[in-house]
Amino acid sequence: MTAIKRTFINSEIWSLTISGAFQRANVCKPNVLEKDKKNFKFMLKGYIDNTIVPSYNKGNVSDDLHIENIKSVQQYTSNFGKLLTNGQFNFGVSQKLLNLYLKYLWCLDIIPEPPHFPVDRIIQQKLNFKPIIAWTKIETPEEYMSIVNFARTKINSKDEFYNSLATIELNLFSRRHDDL
């Protein structure tokens, strides 16, 4: 893939990632200028691409490292606290952002399979996880890992569609508009 194509695709997946991670989360305070939002997203993408993503390039990222990376994203957002509703992202928004971005990079064969999947209401429903935890309200790694560990009980090493957390999520995922 040429550099210009890679830049274009990466920009598009970042846009999808932001859209998915920010929906229903009310991350920015009211009246934040668009130029400030744009700068925040640009800086956040640079941080994730340059600081976080390289640790996924060889695959086999442990739960502990992945949790630390989610916390790192969360902590980084505190640098933009004056723009953000709660001064920084909570754990749920941070995991959704990072996991969604990693999922897209994996699907494009840019990185090996990520260790987890984007946790949201839909995946919890499809896994029959109860009680459902609003992903926008997840505050701790423990809440998040309760969902991930429940999903692990669904792994079947003999079934190519359910042999890892990432493949389970891909196979359970569906757009809200399946008829398109």
User: Which tokens in the block code for residue 96?
Assistant: 């959704």
* C-beta separation of 66 from 116 below 8 A: yes
Distance of CA 144 to the CA centre of its chain: 12
Number of C-beta neighbours around residue 96 at 10 A: 25
Task: Give the Cα separation of 60 and 114 in Å (integer).
Answer: 8
**Environment class of residue 28 by beta-carbon count within 10 Å: exposed (0-12), middle (13-18) or buried (19+)?**
middle
CB under 8 Å to 135, separation ≥6 — which residues? Answer: 92, 93, 95, 96, 119, 120, 121
Task: Give the Cα separation of 123 and 128 in Å (integer).
Answer: 8
Task: Give the Cα separation of 170 and 174 in Å (integer).
Answer: 8
Tokens 């209401």, located at residue:
121
Task: Give the Cα separation of 147 and 71 in Å (integer).
Answer: 17
Helix (H) or strand (E) holding 43: helix 34-47
pTM of the model: 0.94
pLDDT at residue 116, as a whole number: 97
Task: Give the Cα separation of 12 and 34 in Å (integer).
Answer: 19
pLDDT at residue 180, as a whole number: 46
What is the chain's pLDDT, residue by residue, as a tens digit (180 residues)? Answer: 799 999 999 999 999 999 999 988 999 999 999 999 999 999 999 999 999 999 999 999 999 999 999 999 999 999 999 999 999 999 999 999 999 999 999 999 999 999 999 999 999 999 999 999 999 999 999 999 999 999 999 998 888 878 999 999 998 876 544 544
